[in-house]
Every structure is written in structure tokens, then in C-alpha cells.
Amino acid sequence: MEINLPDNYCKLEDTLTSADKILTKAVDDSKTLFHTMVVSSLDGEKISSRVMVLREFNLEERKMRFHTDYRAPKIQHFSNNSTATVLGYDPEIKIQIKLQGKITPHYNDESTKLAWDGSTPRSKKCYSVKGGSTKEIHDPKDFDIGDFEVEEGYKNFSVLIFSFDTLEFLYLKSSGHRRAIHKWNNGYESSWLVP
């Protein structure tokens, strides 16, 4: 699916429309750089960031979905403090999108069942790794997934729902950089920012 983006941004609403098109396309298009975004959490006082596959984007509901292993440390981060930032950039279109909000981890509920049923066997396979994500190990070969029962992975599967209340759009172009913020706090507000 090709998307049409403006060459120049003169209207604030165009920045939101473009962000919507980019992130909607990124869900199914593994070739776009927005398919894998940087998701940051707070680990006590430290920031912890990692790349994750964007599984769903819904601007109307201001929601993103990610999948992860329930044994991963980030589950604890988001349970202790739900604050989160999601960031992506694609040099081909010269656009950075940064969203701020809160992440709720889900485990063995309606949303995990739905997401699991919608996953391919290849995606499901990762959740059959023994020992738990991030455990220190002696030999990684011992943790290669050989024989596995695909549905066994469900017990380690978690869905992260990111609900965002700001979306920042940055377009870097020599003819004039454009930066815009969209906020949904008490109602919706948007503004240009100095880039």
C-alpha cells in the first residue's frame, strides 16, 4: 500500500493525518521503519528502551498494541509505572513521530486471546523459549527453540496496550523544518513548535 504524503506542511491537521497514514500502514508493512518502533519504560529511575513490532494503531481510540513475553522485565516496569514513550523515524520520508502515554500489560484475558489467535505460528514460536526473557545464561545454543508445541507459548504471551495522550510530529526538510504537537488532555489541542 502506497501512501501520499505532502511535500510541505502548511496546515497543522495535515501533520496528524500523515502520522495516522504512516502508523496505520506500518502495522502490516514490515518494510517501513515505523513497523518497528522504540518503546521506552521507566525502570525505577532509569529509562529502559527497546525495539518492538507495532501490531495495531488506532488514532480514534488513541491506542497502539505490542506483543511481548510475560516474563520480560518491561512487564514489571509498566506494572510499577505505566508511563511510556513510543518513537519512530524514517529517513526516507524524513519524519519522526513521538507519542507519550501509558502502557497496560494484559495477560490471559480477552485481548491476549484475540491477539494470540491473530498471530502466525512463526510469531507464536518465540513464546516457547524456555527459562524466561532476559535470564542470564551460559550458552545461547541451549535456548534455541527446537521441538515445540506452538500453543504452549500462550502461557508466556502478553499484550501491551499503549494509550497515548500526545503525538509529536517532526518533518526535517532543508526548505523549512516543521514540528507539531497534538494533545488530548482536556479535549483536543494542537500547535506548531519551534523545530
Ligand X SMILES: Cc1cc2nc3c(=O)[nH]c(=O)nc-3n(C[C@H](O)[C@H](O)[C@H](O)COP(=O)(O)O)c2cc1C
Q: For residue 161, which amino acid is it?
A: I
**Counting contacts by CB under 6 A, is residue 83 touching ligand X?**
no
Q: Cell numbers of 71, please?
A: 516474563
Q: Cell numbers of 13, please?
A: 491537521
Closest to ligand X by CB, 9 vs 57, is: 57
Among 17, 36, 82, 111, binds ligand X (CB under 6 A): 36
CB 100 within 8 A of CB 47: no
CB 77 within 8 A of CB 43: yes
Contact mark string toward ligand X, 134..173, x via CB under 6 A? x---------------------------------------
**Counting contacts by CB under 6 A, is residue 48 touching ligand X?**
yes
Q: Please state the closest distance from residue 75 (CB atom) to ligand X, in A.
A: 7
CB 175 within 8 A of CB 94: no
Among 31, 44, 45, 51, binds ligand X (CB under 6 A): 51
**Under DSSP, is residue 54 helix (H, G, I), strand (E, B) or coil?**
coil
**Under DSSP, is residue 84 helix (H, G, I), strand (E, B) or coil?**
strand
Among 15, 68, 112, 119, binds ligand X (CB under 6 A): 68
Identify the H or E element spanning 131: none
Which residue number places its CB atom closest to ligand X? 68
Among 19, 24, 67, 171, binds ligand X (CB under 6 A): 67
Closest to ligand X by CB, 54 vs 97, is: 54
- What number of other Cβ atoms are within 10 A of residue 186's Cβ? 6
**Counting contacts by CB under 6 A, is residue 72 touching ligand X?**
yes
Closest to ligand X by CB, 22 vs 39, is: 39
**Under DSSP, is residue 100 helix (H, G, I), strand (E, B) or coil?**
strand
**Counting contacts by CB under 6 A, is residue 103 touching ligand X?**
no
